[in-house]
Amino acid sequence: MSESVTLTEKILRKAGDLNVDLIGAIPAESLDEFAGMEVNWNKWGTMKRPSDYVPDARSVVVVAEVAFGPTIDLAVRRRGGWNYVGYKPLEVDTWEIGGYLQSLGYEAKVLPSHLSQKNMARLAGMGSFGKNTLLLHPEAGPYLRIDGIVTDATLEYDQPDETDLCGDCKRCLQACPTGALQPYRIDAEKCLVHQRLHGPDDTQYARLLEQYSPRLAPGAYIMCQHCQQVCPVGEEPPWERS
């Protein structure tokens, strides 16, 4: 490869070979302000800094996949935890890019679970927060799966685009079956995703869970996505087109 090709260009080419939907990069320290925030969904404690993963962290590479369709958000119980099947293609691509960085001599920590994925994608210009607290991409709407790689490589960085894509819309706030949403805020304890993952079986939400988070097989559930499905931002999801 020509010496004039920058490291950022090499990573973009690698992502192109892998057919990655979206890729960007942000300075590592831009995620420091979220350290200490609770990791709501998995009760995994609090957010960390990129330098907790790579001591000389300079950048975070953000990798995202557009994931239309309710079956994508499938959670399967395994060894006392939950496995998100729909994330596997994204994880494979992220490992490939992390391995590529390592092959070039850089340190690269793949899938740093205690960094704010939505904020890393926002800072990389992949969208802005919607009232449903999800990241809204102008074309993919609220259907991004996001992961990252912390590295000591210095890259060319993307810029956030804070365009408000919600306007006067309140569809998700009105549609949430448990009233978990306020504009740009979520009561995680009320959300059916949290209830499915962590709630007791005899929860007051049992009937709603059956409707919005159905069981496909023992230990395999579709997560509630109602606040995504009503969102008008982005292309019409394929299951609505027929």
The residue ranges that bind ligand SF4 (CB under 6 A) are 130-132, 136, 165-166, 169-172, 176-178, 180-181, 186, 191-193, 212, 224, 226-227, 230-233
Q: CB of 3: closest distance to ligand SF4 in angstroms?
A: 46
Q: Measured from the CB atom, is 14 or 190 closer to ligand SF4?
A: 190
The CB-side HSE value for 41 (13 A sphere, CA atoms) comes to: 14
Q: CB of 171: closest distance to ligand SF4 in angstroms?
A: 4
Q: CB of 111: closest distance to ligand SF4 in angstroms?
A: 23
Backbone angles phi, psi at 119, to 5 degrees: -70, -35
Q: Which ranges of the chain would DSSP assign to H, the alpha helix?
A: 7-17, 88-103, 117-123, 171-175, 192-198, 206-212, 226-229
Q: Measured from the CB atom, is 50 or 141 closer to ligand SF4?
A: 141
Measure Cα distances from 82 to 13, 55, 73, 147 in Å: 33, 29, 12, 17
Q: CB of 211: closest distance to ligand SF4 in angstroms?
A: 10
Q: Measured from the CB atom, is 17 or 189 closer to ligand SF4?
A: 189
Q: CB of 15: closest distance to ligand SF4 in angstroms?
A: 27
Q: Measured from the CB atom, is 61 or 165 closer to ligand SF4?
A: 165
Q: Measured from the CB atom, is 146 or 186 closer to ligand SF4?
A: 186
Write the DSSP symbol of residue 152.
S
Q: CB of 119: closest distance to ligand SF4 in angstroms?
A: 17
Quick check: 184 and 172 in contact, CB under 8 A?
Answer: no
Question: In the structure encoding, which two tokens stand for residue 189, read together?
Answer: 């304890």
Q: Measured from the CB atom, is 58 or 122 closer to ligand SF4?
A: 122
Quick check: 59 and 25 in contact, CB under 8 A?
Answer: yes
- The per-residue b/e assignment along 39-50, b for 16 or more CB within 10 angstroms, e otherwise, is ebeeeeeebbbb
Q: Measured from the CB atom, is 18 or 169 closer to ligand SF4?
A: 169
Q: CB of 170: closest distance to ligand SF4 in angstroms?
A: 6
Quick check: 109 and 94 in contact, CB under 8 A?
Answer: no
**What residue is closest to ligand SF4 based on CB?**
130
The residues with which 78 forms a beta bridge, in sequence order, are 81
